[in-house]
Chain A
Amino acid sequence: MTSEPVVELRGIYTRFGEVTVHRDLSLSIAPGQIVGLLGGSGSGKTTLLREMLGLMRPNAGSVRLFGVDLDNPDQLLQRSVRRRLGMLFQHGALFSALSVFDNIAFPLRELRCLDEDWIRRLVHLKLAMVELEPGHGALMPAELSGGMVKRVALARALALEPELLLLDEPTAGLDPDRSQNFVDLVASLQQSLGLTVVMVTHDLATLAGLASHVAVLAEQHIVAFGPKENVMTSDHPFVTGFFGADRRKLL
């Protein structure tokens, strides 16, 4: 596998009116890494994630996914890049007019080259992966509990077999047991598919259990990035404040 970074941010500046969120931020994520993005509330973690997705343009700087600049005007190229990533939104962002089955089948149907039987098997496979019954496929998003919404959203994010998975608060709102299952699930997927994962999380257990690398967003840029052990034992004031005294216990 080539060592070309999956995600490469260079010199990102983001401003909301007078407020500068990111100042000369750079980050480069190699294939196969599971990066936990940390930062205080309002430090621009979700904004950074949205910029990686191309939902928002930074005021300056470049975002490259799989070596493709998101400012590249080639529509087909952009679409092929989008198909290689899956995003789990914080609140699921399921299509409320479609059933669970159709939600997961939606990106597959959009490819327009898989037959219904193939799609049905894939959808049931994804449902099984996130520990949902095939019968749950008939439910509407409004009938799901918070945790189920999250799992359906993950199943949809995984539908296209992405190489890059972006997770926004993946375990928020799940009970500890479920979030441990979630961590195991993503870890096993990562092993079998060689996924690259970028996640924003506040849950230390998730971070400790899943992340291989940690990026700390503070003071408008990435103050620390590296293997989990190195970052979590560093003496940066934000890191010590964030993890508190028991940071060594988490490792």
Chain B
Amino acid sequence: MISAPRLQLESGNVSLSGDWTLAAMLPEITDLQSALAVVPSTAHWNLSGLGRLDSAAAVLLWRNWGRSWPVSLEVSEPHRTVLARVADLPDVVLPHERVRLSPVLLAGGLALKALGNLRGLVAVFGQFLLDMLYLLRHPREFPAREFSANLYKAGAQALPVTALVGFLIGITISYLSALQLRNFGADLFIVNILGISIIRELGPVLVAVLVAGRSGSAMTAQIGVMRVTEEIDALSTMGISRSLRVVFPKIFGLTVAMPLLVLWISAIALFGGMVAALLQLDLSLSYFIDNLPRAVPVANLWIGLGKGLVFGFVIALVSCHFGLRVKPNTESLSSNTTSAVVTSITTVILVDAVFAIFTRHIGVPQL
């Protein structure tokens, strides 16, 4: 179906034949370009034997002619229009805008972006409080289905993975601590170490990191895609508040689910630690359980659960904020999802440090 493009040069007479189309030229494009390059500028061009001529070939010829019509040209009318279309093209080279970023501009841009994000977070937080107030006055409008769906997705479905991670971390910490403690003959303190570290610190932080990666990213992506496909706009046209139906259940759901997950992962991690202590130090399970309340004041449990509550709230808040910032293109979706996970984990660690400072006198066993 395609006949190869041919070029014949005889004593100042160039005749082209065959199909001069992109598909036909591709296999021998460099040969054709070099063959065209050697044609003298005063040559007579005979294009009457040409099969097909598409705009890619027309551009090639036009560039070869030095962007002007050759002195003598023989061409059929349809092909002349193709060439004329290329000839009529304004010979502009749009300047490629490349903004040079000075360090000052860069720092300023980052600061503005951070401020913008802070503002967005405050806005989502404020809207959440307003929705709370609204729901207190109109309790019948509580989005129960959305809430339970979020609780199930972020909480119940996270049980297996958090259990696995918790169990392995418990075993690891118990094993490593046991090796050290045995050197000092302080085997029994394994209960204190495991109890305090897991219940107060590791449980909440581990769950927060897992949930930020698992549910936080999902929230951002879901809200983002709803924006891309205009589902959010469809909701508002039906008079349904997007913050009440989409954002509120996510934040509320995760805030409720997180303390439960903290409890779950702490229990499993302690169990893992108990098993490792049994194998490594011959510490019986019953001894461990009997001594746990003595070694770990119950305040630690409340601190752990409180952390879980706050972390869940922070993760959902950050994720929803970035989800609402998604612009309708794929690039924005991916960058906002990344930002959501990174920001929520960083914020969680930050909040954890604040917790550590303010609770430093609470729940530490006095020996």
Contacts and interface: CB of A to CB of B under 8 A. Distances in A.
Interface stretch (B84-92, B125-133, B142-150, B213-221): B84-92
A141 B329 contact: yes
Contacts of A54: none
Contacts of A1: 1
A96 B54 CA distance: 28
Contacts of A137: 94
Given A113-B29, A122-B56, A161-B21, A97 B330 contact: yes
Given A113-B29, A161-B21, A191-B78, A125 B54 contact: no
B93 interface: yes
B93 A192 contact: no
Contacts of A141: 329
B356 to A, nearest CB: 42
A121 interface: yes
Q: Which of B29, B54, B85 has the most CB of A within 10 A?
A: B54
Interface residues of B, number: 32
Q: Which of A114, A124, A161, A194 has the most CB of B within 10 A?
A: A161
A128 interface: yes
Contacts of B82: 192
B23 A83 contact: yes
| Interface residues of chain B: helix, strand, loop or mixed (majority) | helix
A71 interface: no
A161 B23 contact: yes
Contacts of A194: 52
Contacts of B56: 114, 118, 122, 161
B55 A120 contact: no
Contacts of B330: 95-97
Contacts of A83: 23
A121 B87 CA distance: 10
A66 interface: yes
A161 B94 contact: no
Q: Which of B21, B55, B94 has the most CB of A within 10 A?
A: B55
B63 A117 contact: yes
B329 A4 contact: no
| Interface residues of chain A: helix, strand, loop or mixed (majority) | helix
B329 A122 contact: no
B10 interface: no
A83 B85 CA distance: 23
B23 A163 contact: yes
A163 B23 CA distance: 9
B110 interface: no
Interface in A26-83: 66, 80, 83
Given A122-B59, A193-B54, A138 B26 contact: no
A138 B94 contact: yes
Contact of B89 (A2, A111, A124, A160): A124
Nearest to B60: A118
Given A117-B63, A122-B55, A161-B54, 15 more contacts: A1-B1, A80-B23, A113-B30, A118-B60, A118-B63, A121-B86, A121-B89, A125-B85, A125-B86, A126-B55, A128-B88, A134-B90, A134-B92, A140-B329, A142-B329
Interface of B: 1, 21-23, 26, 29-30, 52, 54-56, 59-60, 62-63, 78, 81-82, 85-86, 88-90, 92-94, 97, 327-331
Q: 6 closest Cβ contacts across the A-B interface?
A: A96-B329, A97-B331, A161-B54, A161-B22, A121-B59, A142-B328
Interface of A: 1-2, 4, 66, 80, 83-84, 95-97, 111, 113-114, 117-118, 120-122, 124-126, 128-129, 134-135, 137-138, 140-142, 160-161, 163, 191-194
12 contacts: A96-B330, A113-B29, A114-B56, A118-B63, A121-B59, A125-B85, A129-B85, A134-B90, A134-B92, A142-B328, A161-B56, A191-B78
